[in-house]
């Protein structure tokens, strides 16, 4: 945290920072909401050139809130005026022990200032923090309304909403009509994209459970104003509880430092980058922890589409290479009982698998020892054999793990795909992070060599299905997008005509050969 603090020792004398609420809001300051119930509460007052408003903001904090919070931190973002000196003067003149004043040597930006403040309170072991702006746009009289739901254990984040009608709505509080329209449009876009139901994404009045914030990676998040959007996205993605409380709208004479058009572009771009990351198109750095290189494909005629059909319902299933259990969860929803095998860390969530076996699949005989005679109706080897040093050894162990009428589902990438042929035509064979030429692939297969591998290791092929190329990852479209459905149908049609050339993978349903 890049900040410099100036501290002084002041003589003991009674506090004289008088409570001076805005008359219209005084009646709404509810002392019954203020108790901290043993929680360590911090208030983060972010300021930039707030010389004319800071004194009023601090005096509008209700006495009951001062009594229940542990610290009020004024974090000045390298103001060009004397905001920092004023804050120090307030602390000295009125002797407010709970007031702490820090200043960044250089401007970190709206998001950067928040990140520094949250890290400060997290490192000091606080339980929750309320974000309050030093320009007076958000009512300090409502601080207890903001933190009470977190103190009560009802939620992980509270957002003050100006769009709720409780205090007259945004227009009554002076919000310009064009800002109201822009706010509603952006909030609608965000709700539809994220599956949320917030009335407002763009209020800067917020309270957070710091134990929830500690689970977020701030390192690559923006320092700009759309930090507020990114943090909602991350909290929602990680399953944190979100709620809203109504707050009044206030637009005074203070200058707005936000470029509205740029802000709108940044918000839409942040949502789009998040969706592209979650769809595994490419990892946006600020959301990189949510990127899955090999997602469970939902599109029709993918390897997972055929594996779902081949696995069936109500079966004992062994999924080798289960990763974080995404496909295992789908199999469980179809009433299958799934045992997972992989070396991933962390392992799949509890409740997804009947049993999880952490295993080095290249260790000779390790799978048989761990299974210890267990038998299965289906064994899944989806994108596994091409990574093994000796795939034939694993195939032999799998055969021994099948019930009498059990079968194996195998998917293998098609190195004869047209994309690879074109690369060879132009003299390249560069390895990639994923796909047919994944750098971790130790073996490459065509349809013919894949069949040979299975047949030479004691299996007969019941069915084989070519898969379509994952065009949705290239176009960045959801599988249920109407355009994507049309593209997928066309791709499947031509792939069935020329499977050796156009198939991305081949999915085999096999069983032990008679006599094995």
pLDDT digit string, tens, across residues 305-325: 999 999 999 999 999 999 888
d(CA 472, CA 469): 9
For residue 360, what pLDDT is reported?
Answer: 92
pLDDT digit string, tens, across residues 120-175: 999 999 999 999 999 999 999 999 999 999 999 999 999 999 999 898 888 888 88
Spell out the domain ranges in the chain: 25-289, 303-512
Residue 21, CA distances (Å) to 18, 203, 237, 354, 371 in order: 9, 21, 38, 59, 70
Query: N- to C-terminal Cα distance for the chain?
Result: 65
For residue 252, what pLDDT is reported?
Answer: 66
> Do 244 and 129 contact (CB within 8 A), yes or no?
no
CATH architecture label of 303-512: 3-Layer(aba) Sandwich (3.40)
The first and second tokens of residue 295, run together, are: 């997602």
For residue 3, what pLDDT is reported?
Answer: 44
What stretches in the chain show pLDDT beneath 50? 1-15, 255
pTM attached to this predicted model = 0.78
- Residue 406 sits at φ, ψ, to 5 deg, of -75, 155
For residue 446, what pLDDT is reported?
Answer: 96
For residue 168, what pLDDT is reported?
Answer: 85
For residue 299, what pLDDT is reported?
Answer: 86
d(CA 328, CA 317): 9
d(CA 392, CA 457): 6
Taking the alpha carbons of 168, 172, 178, 179 in that order, is the dihedral positive or negative?
Answer: negative
Report the topology of domain 25-289.
Spore Coat Polysaccharide Biosynthesis Protein SpsA; Chain A (3.90.550)
For residue 256, what pLDDT is reported?
Answer: 58
Residue partners of 99: CB distance under 8 A and separation at least 6: 58, 71, 72, 74, 87, 90, 91
3-state helix, strand and coil shares in percent for the chain, rounded to the nearest 5: 40, 20, 45
């Amino acid at each position: 945290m890049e900040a410099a603090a100036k501290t002084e020792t002041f003589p003991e004398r009674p506090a004289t920072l008088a409570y001076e609420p805005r008359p219209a809001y005084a009646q709404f300051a509810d002392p019954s909401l203020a108790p901290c119930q043993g929680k360590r509460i911090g208030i983060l007052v972010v300021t930039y050139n707030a010389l004319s408003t800071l004194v009023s903001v601090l005096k509008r904090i209700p006495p009951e809130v001062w009594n229940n919070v542990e610290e009020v931190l004024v974090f000045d973002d390298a103001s060009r005026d004397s905001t920092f000196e004023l804050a120090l003067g307030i602390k000295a003149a009125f002797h407010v022990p709970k007031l702490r004043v820090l200043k960044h040597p250089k401007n970190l930006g709206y998001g950067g200032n928040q990140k520094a403040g949250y890290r400060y309170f997290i490192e000091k072991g606080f339980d929750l923090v309320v974000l309050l702006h030093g320009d007076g746009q958000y009512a300090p009289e409502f601080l207890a309304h903001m933190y009470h739901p977190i103190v009560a254990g009802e939620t992980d984040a509270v957002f003050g909403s100006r769009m709720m009608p409780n205090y007259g709505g945004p227009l009554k509080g002076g919000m310009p009509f064009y800002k109201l329209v822009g706010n509603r449009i952006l909030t609608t876009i965000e709700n539809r994209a994220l599956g949320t139901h917030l009335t407002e994404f763009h209020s800067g009045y917020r309270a957070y459970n710091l134990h929830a914030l500690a689970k977020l990676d701030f390192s690559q998040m923006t320092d700009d104003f759309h930090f507020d959007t990114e943090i909602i996205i991350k909290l929602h993605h990680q399953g944190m509880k979100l709620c809203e409380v109504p707050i009044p709208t206030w637009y005074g004479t203070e200058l707005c430092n936000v470029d509205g058009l740029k802000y709108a572009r940044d918000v839409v771009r942040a949502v789009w980058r998040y969706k592209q990351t979650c769809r595994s198109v490419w990892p946006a750095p600020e959301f990189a922890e949510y990127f899955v290189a090999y997602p469970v494909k939902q599109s029709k005629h993918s390897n997972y589409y055929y594996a779902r059909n081949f696995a069936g319902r109500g079966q004992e299933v062994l999924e080798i290479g289960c990763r974080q259990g995404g496909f295992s969860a789908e199999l469980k929803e179809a009433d299958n009982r799934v045992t997972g095998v992989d070396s991933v860390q962390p392992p799949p969530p509890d409740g997804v698998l009947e049993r999880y076996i952490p295993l080095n699949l290249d260790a000779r005989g390790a799978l048989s020892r761990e299974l210890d005679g267990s038998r299965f109706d289906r064994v899944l080897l989806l994108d596994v054999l091409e990574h093994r040093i000796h795939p034939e050894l694993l195939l032999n162990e799998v055969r021994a793990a099948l019930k009498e009428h059990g079968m194996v589902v195998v998917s293998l990438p098609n190195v004869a795909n047209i994309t690879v042929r074109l690369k060879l035509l132009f003299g390249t064979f560069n390895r990639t992070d994923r796909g047919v030429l994944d750098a971790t692939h130790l073996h490459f297969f065509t349809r013919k060599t894949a069949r040979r591998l299975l047949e030479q290791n004691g299996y007969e092929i019941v069915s084989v299905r070519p898969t379509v190329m994952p065009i949705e990852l290239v176009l960045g479209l959801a599988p249920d997008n109407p355009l994507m459905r049309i593209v997928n149908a066309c791709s499947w049609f031509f792939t069935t005509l020329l499977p050796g050339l156009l198939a991305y993978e081949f999915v085999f349903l096999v069983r032990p050969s008679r006599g094995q």
